[in-house]
Amino acid sequence: MTIKEAQDTIDQWIKTFGVRYFSELTNMAVLTEEVGELARIMARRYGDQSEKESDRNGDLGDEMADVLWVLICLANQTGVDLTAALEENIKKKTLRDSERHRNNQKLTHDND
């Protein structure tokens, strides 16, 4: 599925099953909540916190998809073409950072 197809699919889902989009501010709050749920799994599975029993069954892919879903909702609501935005963002990062990371000793040298 392309990003455009995802935007169209979610828009159709909202119109068919969701009645309407939540307000942009509500969706921003929901996005923050979903990122927090993803962060909880990441911190406990890959970070220094120990996993609780209730965290062990957390589906990382599903949490990432929840974040993506709400982000796409926000893009649809605000008229953002995420394909175009991502393409422009990659160009911006390439121009700005094409040498920066290669010259970062923290990335290019073993710091053990």
Q: Is the pLDDT of residue 112 over 60?
A: no
Is residue 77 within 8 Å of 21, Cβ to Cβ? yes
Distance of CA 106 to the CA centre of its chain: 26
Q: Is the pLDDT of residue 109 over 90?
A: no
CA angle 90, 92, 96 (to 5 degrees): 115
Amino acid in position 57: N
42-87 per-position pLDDT tens digit: 999 999 988 888 778 889 999 999 999 999 999 999 999 999 999 9
> Under the phi-then-psi rule, with left for phi > 0, alpha for psi from -120 to 50, and beta for the rest, what region is 17?
alpha
pTM above 0.85, yes or no: yes
Is residue 43 within 8 Å of 49, Cβ to Cβ? yes
Long-range contacts of 23-27 (CB under 8 A, 24+ apart): 24/74, 24/77, 24/78, 27/70, 27/73, 27/74, 27/77
Q: Which domains does the chain possess?
A: 3-80 (1.10.287.1080)
